[in-house]
Amino acid sequence: MPDSKIARAEFRNPCPDLKNPAAKTVVDSLLSTVSKASERFGEPTAEDYEIANLTLHDIQQRLIHEEDLTVPRVVEARIRLTIKASLDTHCLTAFPYDKALEQARYYQKDVIKIGDNDNVEQILDAFPLLGLVFSVKDCIHVEGFPTTLGCSLRAGHNEVATAKLVQRIMDGGAIMIAKTTAPQLMMSNTTQSPLWGTTRSAIQSAEAQGEEFQVGGSSGGEAALVKMGGSQLGIGTDMGGSVRQPACLNELFGYKFISKPNNFRWKLPQDFMTGLPHTTVPATAPGLLARDIHTLKLVGDHLHGSLYANMAELTDSDYQDVYEEWEMPVPEDLGNNPRIVYTTQQSSPEVHQLVHWLLEKLQKHNDLARPTQCQELGDIDVKAWGETWMEHAKEHGFNDARAMLADDPLIKRTMFDESRLSTNDADKASWKPDSDKLARLKAEFVKQAKIKVGDDDSKTSEKDDEDESDDDDEDEEQEDDKGGKDKGPENVILVTPTYTLGGPVQQSTFVQLDDAGESEIWCQIFNLVDWPAISIPLNHLPVKARQEFHDKALASPEWAKHLPGKVKADPIDNQAKERLPSLSLQLATLPGNQHALLDYALRLSRLKTH
């Protein structure tokens, strides 16, 4: 088994005894690459941390308008921070930093063209993601790199094509810095494998002998690298919370698309791999992780092909007496005022208090984000939802997974079930989930939320396997939904827990809550209904309010034993201090309303809380 006792900053092969020689080669090659990069670039500097704390918009301003920053300098900062993240958290599977620098020099020399102020708008029109440094989870294909899923059998096979999602981001001017760890076979909500070892959380206890925090999964490598600033944006996958859960556990923003986005292909096996049985319900959806919502929204809008826009139309009078050198008039923002449906079911006392605190603030203090109505969802049958998710996830057994596993030892915490290796027709029939049960749960859920689902709104991309026969070179579809005032689904946003504890969790508590079940049920539900969802950390919660939430939760014997104390300062914020961990909530909406969802998440991050 992989050695989970490897200390931070100790760098060695976690499991050198795997039988496939390619496994040793690929791991030793990574260790050598990181070591050489460390010798060449050294420790992160104060300026590196300053760059890592900028939003993508701010980076672009400095690259193109202020011209006091260059793309190679941005990449160098990310390289040093990636090295540190690798040493501290063991989160990498590939680190092509030389290629990243080469691309950076190209964008600086051949695209930005310092001093040519006439082409500023053209640059960002052509390359809207210029200055973005991103990373990719090791289940998504990138040409020239193996997609291992933590299995030694796959270590020697380099992919011949890049996933369309990754290519779309590269075409926007972004630069890939790394590929990151995922759990063996994608069958765990932690991040561990015999090939790459155990990925650690970037969050550490402020107590001298404090217990380790759990990084989560399955996009745990992305969460660790993004949290440490090595990557500004992580690309992951989500079948039951695998983007949103590690985002919550690492105080990041984590966005899940629907499983078949209109503007880019997302299909097995061309774009990604999984050791889980191939399912359409709950289907694997792509997702994004970021430290700031501004960057995540910019990338999300780029991938969606449009953005939310609820603006007053400009009239001829707005342009009167406007001279050429003046800034052009800007339409008035009319806000984003959804109907909110909320729940605190299956949450800790801290999350319960946070939900009510947030709704009170929204209703009283922010006209542009004030909900038209706030309605409590009411209790749902969480046990039935959890059973249904597991039934569908395991519907097809695990024969392909066993073949992929080969001689590798199986990690401890996994969905793998040896009883589902048979190809017997009777066994297969017994595994078939109850589709009527899921339909009833969905109908009850929609009715409780008072959502009117029309013909267009009910299309949640569940087309079963009919799309799998499409040509590989299919034309990209255009989004029907443009956000704003266009006709579409109701602007309703559901506010739920992301993870039952609400934020970073220490290892023993994670195991206890996971064993108890339903700790991630609200993530699983939005995979089953295939709605877009985002986990958002309330990082700017007033210190007094955050302490009050904590103190009240400590009064509950049931929850006091699970609550972490203070954690060390944020790993890349030099001004930060020891603090209580940030709490997160999940926002979800109907397919077609994702533009409004991302816009609302941005507005919540700007919410004045004092």
More confident residue, 428 or 101: 101
Mean pLDDT of 463-485: 44
Q: What is the pLDDT, as a whole number, of residue 74?
A: 99
**What is the model's pLDDT at position 259?**
97
pLDDT-derived band at 137 (thresholds 50, 70, 90) equals: very high
Mean pLDDT of the 564-575 span = 94
Tens of pLDDT, residue by residue over 218-277, are: 999 999 999 999 999 999 999 999 999 999 999 999 999 999 999 999 999 999 999 988
Pairing of strands 133-137, 175-180: parallel
* Residues ≥6 apart with Cβ < 8 Å to 285: 237, 238, 239, 256, 257, 258, 259, 266, 527, 530
Could you tell me which residue, 466 or 190, shows the higher pLDDT?
A: 190
How would you classify the pairing of strands 339-342 and 253-256? Answer: unpaired
Phi/psi for 373 (5° steps) reads -165, 145
pLDDT for 285 equals 98
Give the mean pLDDT of the chain: 91
Q: How far apart are alpha carbons 226 and 221 in whole angstroms?
A: 9
Out of 171-185, 191-205, 399-413, 450-464, pick the least confident: 450-464
pLDDT for res 13: 82
Is the pLDDT at 17 greater than 60? The verdict is: yes
Q: What is the pLDDT of residue 328?
A: 67
More confident site: 353 or 606: 353
Task: Using alpha carbons, select from 127, 152, 131, 149 the residue that is nearest to residue 139.
Answer: 149
**Is 469 a residue whose pLDDT tops 70?**
no
Q: Determine the longest span between alpha carbons in the chain, in angstroms.
A: 79
Name residue, tokens 């597991």: 390
The b/e string for 349-387 (b: 16+ C-beta within 10 A; e otherwise) is bbbbbbbebbbebbeeebeebbbeebeebeebebeebbb
Question: What is the model's pLDDT at position 327?
Answer: 66
Contacts of 443 (CB under 8 A, 6+ apart): none
Residue 172 has a pLDDT of: 98
Q: In the predicted model, what is the mean pLDDT of residues 447-467?
A: 61
Average pLDDT over residues 554-581: 95
pLDDT of residue 610: 63
Is residue 454 within 8 A of residue 446, CB to CB? The reply is no
Predicted local distance difference test score (pLDDT) of residue 2: 44
Per-residue pLDDT of 22-77, as tens digits, reads 999 999 999 999 999 999 999 999 999 999 999 999 999 999 999 999 999 999 99
CA 302 to chain centre: 16
467 has pLDDT over 50? no
Residue 411 pLDDT class (50, 70, 90 cuts): very high
Per-residue pLDDT, averaged over 122-126, amounts to: 93
Q: Is the pLDDT of residue 581 over 50?
A: yes
Residues 594, 309: Cα–Cα separation, whole Å: 12
Range in 163-177, 422-436, 540-554, 595-609 the model is least confident about: 422-436
- Show the CA angle centred on residue 393, arms to residues 473 and 432, nearest 5°: 105
pLDDT(115) > 70 = no
Given the structure tokens 């695990």, which residue do they identify?
398
In 3D, which of 304, 340, 311, 362 has the Cα closest to residue 598?
304
In this predicted structure, what is the pLDDT of residue 322?
A: 60
Span 519-540, pLDDT tens digits: 999 999 999 999 999 999 999 9
Pairing of strands 285-290, 253-256: antiparallel
Confidence of residue 209 (pLDDT cuts 50, 70, 90): confident
Higher pLDDT, 3 or 338: 338
pLDDT surpasses 60 at 462: no
The CA distance from 231 to 100, in Å, is 12
Confidence of residue 114 (pLDDT cuts 50, 70, 90): low
pLDDT of res. 241? 98
Average pLDDT over residues 379-402: 95
**Cα gap 404→184, rounded to integer Å:** 10
Amino acid at 545: A
pLDDT at residue 472 in the model: 47
Residues 467-491 as b or e (16 or more Cβ within 10 Å = b): eeeeeeeeeeeebebbbbeeebbbb
- Give the C-alpha separation, 338 to 427, whole Å: 47
pLDDT for the residue 470: 47
Q: Which residue has the tokens 């499983």?
A: 259
For residue 366, is pLDDT > 80? no
- How crowded is residue 576: how many other Cβ atoms within 10 Å of its Cβ? 11
pLDDT > 70 in the chain, percent: 90
Average pLDDT over residues 552-557: 97
Residue 477 above 50 pLDDT? no
pLDDT for 428 equals 85
What residue ranges define each of the domains in the chain, with the CATH number in brackets? 22-203+212-304 (3.90.1300.10)
Dihedral-angle region of residue 207 (phi above 0 means left; psi in -120 to 50 means alpha; beta otherwise): beta
